[in-house]
Chain A
Amino acid sequence: MAHALREKAAISGVGETAYTRGTPKSPLALQLEASLAAIADAGLSPRDIDGVVPYFPGGGIAEDFIANLDLPDLKLSVFVPMGGATCVAAIQTAAMAVATGVCRHVLISVGRTGYSGARVSTRLQQFPQFALAAEFEAPIGMFAPAQLYAQGARRHMELYGTTARHFAEIAVVTRQHAILNGNVVMNKPLTVEEHHASRMISDPFRLFDCSLESDGGAAIIVSAADRARDLKKPLVTVMGVAEGHPESPASIAQRPDLLEFGLAKAAPRAYDMAGVGPKDIDVAEIYDCFTFTVINQLELLGFCKKGEGGPFIMDGRIGVGGELPINTHGGLLSQGHVVGLNHVVELTRQLRREAGKAQVKDAEVGLVTGYGDMGDGSVAILRRAA
Chain B
Amino acid sequence: MNAAVPERPLPTPTRESQSFWDGMREGRFMVQHCAGCGKARHYPRPVCPHCFSMESTFKEMATGGMIHTWTVCHHPFNFFFKASAPYVVALVDMDAGVRVNAPLRGIAESDIKIGQRVRLGFEPVTKEITLPFFVAG
Contact = CB atoms under 8 A, between A and B. Distances in A.
A200 interface: yes
A147 B113 CA distance: 18
Contact of B91 (A143, A146, A199, A253): A253
A140 B75 contact: no
A147 B71 contact: yes
A154 interface: yes
A124 B43 CA distance: 19
A158 interface: yes
B87 A141 contact: yes
Given A150-B71, A155-B69, A251 B43 contact: yes
B70 interface: yes
B130 to A, nearest CB: 10
Interface in A160-202: 199-202
A135 B72 CA distance: 20
Prevailing SS type, chain A contact patch: helix
Nearest to B103: A140
Nearest to B42: A254
Interface string A135-161: 111111111101100111011001100
Most buried by B among A141, A154, A200: A141
Interface residues of B, number: 40
A139 B8 contact: yes
B106 interface: no
A146 B78 contact: no
Interface string B108-137: 010001100000000001000101110000
Contacts of A203: 71-74, 86, 109
Given A132-B43, A135-B11, A140 B131 contact: yes
Contact of B86 (A159, A200, A251): A200
A152 B129 CA distance: 28
A169 B131 CA distance: 39
A147 B87 CA distance: 11
The list of the 3 closest CB pairs from A to B, nearest first, reads A203-B72, A150-B71, A155-B69
Given A135-B11, A141-B73, 19 more contacts: A120-B77, A135-B13, A136-B11, A139-B8, A140-B131, A141-B78, A141-B81, A141-B84, A141-B87, A142-B101, A143-B78, A146-B77, A154-B69, A200-B72, A202-B72, A202-B75, A251-B43, A258-B68, A258-B69
27 contacts: A134-B9, A135-B14, A138-B78, A139-B8, A139-B9, A140-B101, A140-B102, A141-B78, A141-B81, A142-B101, A143-B9, A143-B77, A146-B75, A147-B71, A147-B77, A147-B89, A155-B114, A199-B74, A199-B75, A202-B72, A202-B74, A203-B72, A203-B109, A204-B71, A253-B91, A253-B99, A254-B98
Interface of B: 8-14, 17, 42-43, 68-75, 77-78, 81, 84, 86-87, 89, 91, 98-103, 109, 113-114, 125, 129, 131-133
Interface of A: 120-121, 132, 134-144, 146-147, 150-152, 154-155, 158-159, 199-204, 251, 253-254, 258
